Amino acid sequence: MEPVNTQQKLPTNLRVLIGIVSIPSLILAGMLGVMTLNGQFQDISIFEWIYSIVGFIAAYIALTGKRLF
């Protein structure tokens, strides 16, 4: 008996678009990592943390094609 996949993956063109849009967020996450390692984590606002986390979520969606909602 074959397993039935009820959840369809996102189309490839949409996954590529989401991946391209998430690149600035991932760059910001790298900058936040460097700032944290240099001890400047007090200068980082909560909006920057949230924006970088959204970038990781978008990259996950682009790589796997799974929908989170």
- Residue (of 29, 69, 33, 32) closest to 53 by Cα position: 29
Higher pLDDT, 16 or 4: 16
- Residue pLDDT, tens place only, 12-57: 999 999 999 999 999 999 999 999 999 998 888 999 999 999 999 9
- Residue (of 32, 15, 36) closest to 24 by Cα position: 32
The pLDDT score that the predictor gives to residue 13 is 94
Compute the distance between CA of residue 38 and CA of residue 35 in angstroms, rounded to an integer. 5
Q: Which DSSP string corresponds to 10-29?
A: PPHHHHHHHHHHHHHHHHHH
